[in-house]
Amino acid sequence: MKEEKENILLESEDTNEKFDCFEDDYGISFEELAEADFAPHIKKRGEDYYFEDRVLDCIKVGDTYYAKVEGSHDNIYSVIIHNIDDEFLEYECTCPCDFPCKHEYATVLAIEEGNYREPDLKPIISYNHLTIKEVLKKIPAEDLKETLIANAKDEYLEIDAHFLEDNFLKYLPKQSYEYYYNNLYNDIVLDHCYDENISIYLNVARKYLKIGEYYDAFIICKSIIEGMHDAGVFEEENSSNLVLKLGVYLRNICRNNSEILKNEDFVNWLKWLKDNNYYDSMYLEDTILNLKKVIFTLDNEFL
């Protein structure tokens, strides 16, 4: 069955070993687990795709496999297959089909033949969260009242996680640098919706800037730069616009919060970037040099 895409963070074992064939303790192959899930003509098209080398990459993380499959008209589709207790499989594919498709079956054959790799991923960092009830208890009554009145429409108001983040972010639990960095790094390695994750991070950073939580905005910017660099995608041409946007956020942080300029993490990070030649990125170097000009205008002497 297909499931709605979700952002999945899983921890891999420390091995890059490939296996000759998938087989569980009872001798059931991966292909046999998938046997009843695909129509005969879909299997035939999936076999054609596999033998035409259209499975461009396949990664195993725990009991989940991530693949990139070349479809028609040079479209590249993302496939995710979950092995549920070696009893049945769950499938996801970004193609338009709403049933198990040829891209998924081609991936099944790649897994069956051991044509996948197991990368080293960062440890899982769980999202630090509270229930809606717990958050509401933290919000001062007057703040809650004013916000509810301002947002009430037609005698109806829906309060969910997005509403709380938009209106009461300062009362929500903070996420660590490791949470942002590990999440992004893993998604880049898996090539799994990391552009979407970056957009989510930037949106949260923007909200932190709006409410004056500058250090939290800083660690998000830092995690994006370091996560992309360490995963090897920082020098892609399309990163230039992202770095420019991060530069705007960092300058905003410095201009509006002089205390951040005395923060040890912030100071050490800028020095680290300089010592490491700004990761050999002309976009990052230009961004940080412009940031330093802002800092100098604020009469700071630590750089």
pLDDT in tens, 25-45: 445 688 888 888 999 999 999
Residues of the chain with pLDDT under 50: 1-26, 301-303
At 202 the pLDDT is 95
At 132 the pLDDT is 86
At 237 the pLDDT is 65
**232-282: pLDDT as tens digits:** 887 766 678 898 899 999 999 998 888 888 888 898 999 999 898 888 888
At 257 the pLDDT is 87
Q: Where would I find the beta strands (DSSP E) of 47-93?
A: 55-61, 64-70, 76-84, 88-93
**C-alpha dihedral (104, 118, 281, 240), degrees to nearest 10:** 20
At 24 the pLDDT is 47
Tell me the backbone φ, ψ of residue 93, rounded to 5 degrees.
-150, 145
At 153 the pLDDT is 76
Tell me the backbone φ, ψ of residue 88, rounded to 5 degrees.
-155, 165
